[in-house]
C-alpha cells in the first residue's frame, strides 16, 4: 500500500462503511463496501503502474515520456475520484448515524 493511500485511514473506513451498509442493505446493486474496495484497488494498481513506468524511464529502459505522463495522470485522477468516493461514504455514514430511530 503506497504511503499516500495508507495515510487516509482506509481500513477503518471500509469497516465502518461495511457495518452501516450491512444495517441498511440496498435492495439491488453492488454493496457499497465493494464499490469502495474496487476504487481503492484501482488506485493502488494505477499508482504502482505509474511508479514502475517512471522507474523504467529513469533507468533508460524506455524512452516513453508520454507513457509515464499518462500513467501518472491516470493514477492521479483515480486517486482524486477515490478521495471523493471516500468523502461521500463518510458523509453517508455520518448521516445514517445521525438518524436516531
Partner 1 sequence: MLDPIASRLENYMDLLAARQKLVASNVANIDTPGYRTRDIDFQFEYMSHVDGTGLDVIEPDGLTVKNDGNNVSLDRESRLMAENALRFSMASTLLRGEIQTMKRAIDEGKSS
Separation in Å, CA 39 to CA 5, 28, 87, 96, 98: 12, 19, 13, 22, 26
Q: Could you tell me which stretch among 23-31, 34-42, 82-90 binds partner 1 (CB under 8 A)?
A: 82-90
Site string for partner 1, 26-65 (x = CB under 8 A): ---------------------x---x--xx--xxx----x
Please report whether residue 79 would count as binding partner 1 according to CB under 8 A: yes
Please report whether residue 4 would count as binding partner 1 according to CB under 8 A: yes
Answer for the pair 21, 32: CB distance below 8 angstroms, yes or no: yes
Answer for the pair 43, 78: CB distance below 8 angstroms, yes or no: yes
Answer for the pair 53, 68: CB distance below 8 angstroms, yes or no: yes
Which residues make up the interface to partner 1 (CB under 8 A)? 2-5, 7-9, 47, 51, 54-55, 58-60, 65, 68, 72, 75-76, 79-80, 83, 86-87, 90
Amino acid at each position: 500500500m503506497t504511503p499516500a493511500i495508507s495515510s487516509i485511514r482506509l481500513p477503518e473506513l471500509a469497516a465502518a462503511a461495511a457495518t452501516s451498509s450491512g444495517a441498511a442493505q440496498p435492495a439491488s446493486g453492488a454493496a457499497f463496501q465493494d464499490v469502495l474496495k474496487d476504487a481503492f484497488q484501482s488506485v493502488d494498481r494505477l499508482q504502482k503502474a505509474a511508479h514502475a513506468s517512471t522507474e523504467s524511464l529513469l533507468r533508460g529502459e524506455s524512452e516513453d515520456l508520454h507513457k509515464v505522463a499518462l500513467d501518472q495522470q491516470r493514477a492521479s485522477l483515480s486517486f482524486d475520484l477515490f478521495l471523493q468516493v471516500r468523502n461521500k461514504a463518510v458523509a453517508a455514514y455520518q448521516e445514517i448515524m445521525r438518524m436516531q430511530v
